[in-house]
Structures are given as C-alpha cells and as structure tokens.
Amino acid sequence: MESQRLSKPTPSTPGPTTSAPSKPGTLASFVRFVVCGGGVGLLAGAVVPLLATAMPWALANALITVASTVLCTELHALFTFGTGRRAGLRRHLQSAGSATAAYLVTTAAMLILHAVQPSPTLLREQAVYLTASGLAGIGRFLVLRLFVFAERQKEAAPAPVPLQSRGARSGRAASALSTGPQRPAYSPMLPSVA
C-alpha cells in the first residue's frame, strides 16, 4: 500500500512539456543557409549535365533550378530558420522571387563586365560572378530571414481591451476586495447603444 501511494503522480509533479522549436540566431542561420544552399547547389550542378544527356541543356537547367529552389525553401523553413513547419505556397513563391532577384543580379553583373571589358579573363569573370553571387546570397538571406520566414508579430500580440471594459473589470476587482459598503464605481455617462 505504501508503494502504491508513492507511485501515484502528484499535482506538483511536472509532466512532459512540449516546447516550441528553438529559433537559431542570425549567425547560426547564416551558416545553415550557406550549407543548405551550397549543398543543394553542388548537387544541382552535378545533376544538370546528367539530365542534359536526355533533353536540351536549357530545359534540364530550368527543371533542376525549380526543383532545387523548392528543396532549399523546405530546408530553410525546417532547418535554417527553425520555423517548425514546412513552407507553404506563399513562402515558396516569395523564396522563388528572391531567387529570381539573385539570378538577375548575377546576370546583370556579367553583362556589365562584358560591356566594360569585351574579352575579360576567366579569372576576372569568376571574380565578378562569385562577388555578385555572394552579395546576392547575402541579400537573399536577409530577405528570407526578415520577411519570408519571420514570425508575424500581429499574430502574437494580444488584442487591445476597450477602455470601458478596463474600467468595469477594475471596478469589479476593487469591489471584490472591498470589505466596506458597496458603492458604484464612477463611470462617465455615455449614451447607451442597446
């Protein structure tokens, strides 16, 4: 009988808690962003030539670009930014928009390079492309972190309580604590809407 009393849970015994997934800090998110994006980019770079043996290169590149963008968006939602849930359609579209902007930045950088220097060396082309790609990647990271995968503050904010309700609530609390004769709380005369 004594052992039965000890094995029963008591109200003060904490039960299992479910905590929300912890959100990584900015530096950790950036490292995860580079790892996910770089890993998927390397994989995509290896798959495009293989797929291009069965179809035109431009089509293979387009298919792999779409697939890798979708995969990266899912990885960023679950791993990079720690949202705890998969990316929805809105986040996929926003992520695709930021990827398109990054593509346009790198393309513009290469077009400008070739306009300024018609025959650049391979080293110069790589330097310009990698610099533009790095800047576009940083910009894309900021867009994803600050806008696409940011928690909405409106959802977490408590609803404002009307002033009239506050007065009524505080009046009730005060009257519950009062031990003397009950007097009505002051309330301004407002027209009734009933």
Q: What is the pTM of this model?
A: 0.60
Q: Which long-range contacts (CB under 8 A, 24 or more apart) does 84-91 make?
A: 84/20, 84/21, 91/148, 91/149
Q: Are the C-beta atoms of 83 and 95 separated by less than 8 Å?
A: no
| Alpha carbon separation from 23 to 68, 81, 94, 103 (Å, rounded) | 24, 6, 20, 28
Task: Provide the residue-wise pLDDT of the chain in tens; the chain has 194 residues.
Answer: 555 555 555 555 554 544 555 778 889 989 999 998 888 888 888 888 888 889 988 888 888 888 988 998 899 888 888 887 888 888 889 988 988 888 888 889 889 999 999 898 989 988 988 888 889 889 989 998 898 888 764 444 555 555 555 555 555 554 445 555 565 555 555 555 54
So what's the pLDDT on residue 164?
A: 57
So what's the pLDDT on residue 154?
A: 47
So what's the pLDDT on residue 62?
A: 86
| Alpha carbon separation from 135 to 20, 105, 129, 148, 182 (Å, rounded) | 33, 9, 10, 18, 70
Find the DSSP H helices in the chain. 2-7, 26-51, 57-75, 89-116, 122-143, 153-156, 163-177
> Which candidate, 107, 108, 103, 91, places its Cα nearest to that of 137?
103
How far is 42 from 64, CA to CA, in rounded Å? 12
